[in-house]
Amino acid sequence: MKLKLSISLFFLSFIMVAQHNFMLNGICSKNANTKSIYLRYKINGKSITKSSRIHNNKFVFTGEIDFPTQAIICTHPKFYMTNLNSKIFYLEPCKMDVKLDFNDFNTIVVHNSKSNDEFDSLQNTMEKKKNHKKIDSIRELSRSYSDKMITISDNSLKNQIQKSLDSLDLQLDQLVDQNIKINKQSEFEFIKKNPNSFIAPDLLYHILMQEDEQISYDTIKNLYNKLSPEVKKSYGGKQLAEKLIYSKNSRIGSLAPDFKGRDVNDNLLQLSSFRNNKCVLLDFWASWCGPCREDFPFLKEIYFKYKDKGLEIISVSRDEKLDLWRNTIKTENVEKWKHFSIKENKSAIEDIYAVTGIPVKILIDKDGNIIGRWIGSSVEIKAEIESMISKVFQD
């Protein structure tokens, strides 16, 4: 009986390892003994970081995952990533092999990961490679011209070099835009043709986060709906499904999601309390964000112009250092309107409003509906915001 039980337990543990565990065996092509290498990945939103000591130019990572998942392998313990010291790839719940040069990850090779093969293939199309070579050559030429500018005293020659630099900058912008279009086109085609791929939800998530007005929410949602049930159950699939809900609830035309907490003066602040009374401009910012702080003079101008008509501003800060947040409010002289700290309130407001970068501004009318959303800072954006606010109070 004991023997049968032992055999049963052995086979049960074998099945569990076969179904859920991964093993990543690594070989370094150069002498990297006694050094450490690091791995990071997420399971249902929880970040997991592992380290492995290199011995005889070899290292091993093990862990438990149910689905293929995107990961980062890096030589820096805090994951300060460059092309030379890191690589984004896909882990699979199986045994994998990786070969790398510890000092240059450009030649890294990962074996036995179908998802990673798909990911690499998508990243390395011939058209992309050609564009990357052109971009690298232009950047190199720009650097050489910039170095020349430092050593030259002749103003006429400097002007000629500056014209060349301006021309190169224009070419670079065009190539980068072209690369973005190539990426989107190839990613869309891949997703359409591969609904069973575990990298598809990650690609859709990335597209959704870019908030490209040319790619509608409905387009992304339709592509998500066509993914296989197994892919939808994956970590990436669940993350995409959650983000789609947030994006739907926070896009123009939706009723603004409610939130509440304490403001900078420790008073209760709840968005829904302004409904039927105030037009609210949400301003997502941080003290360390230059463009965010550059917008304060504009915000002061429109606040004092429209506050008596019914405008309220709620500045939502992602500052980690609360003293710096409070001091910046005083320094910038913006105490007059409402201020809300994400950290202090332990708030998920950035998730529910699908904010991934700052500055972001969201305009909510008196009925509580989102009527405007802007990412970044520019003269054009400020003009649009003021134009929309003025129309609100003209009606």
Question: What does pTM read for this prediction?
Answer: 0.70
- Predicted pLDDT of residue 198: 96
CA-wise closest residue to 179 among 235, 229, 131, 144: 131
Backbone torsions φ then ψ of 185, nearest 5 degrees: -65, -45
Q: Which residues contact 161 (CB under 8 A, 6 or more apart)?
A: 145, 148, 149, 152
- Predicted pLDDT of residue 2: 45
- Predicted pLDDT of residue 13: 41
Distance of CA 335 to the CA centre of its chain: 31
> Which 3 state secondary structure label does DSSP give 248?
helix
Question: Which pairing describes strands 360-364 and 260-262: parallel, antiparallel, or unpaired?
Answer: unpaired
Token digits of residue 5: 């039980």
Which residues of the chain carry a pLDDT beneath 50? 1-19, 126
Which amino acid is present at 346? Answer: K
Burial grade of 45 (CB within 10 A; 0-12, 13-18, 19 or more) = exposed
How wide is the angle at C-alpha 166 spanned by C-alphas 163 and 169, nearest 5°?
A: 150
How many Å from the N-terminal Cα to the C-terminal Cα in the chain?
84
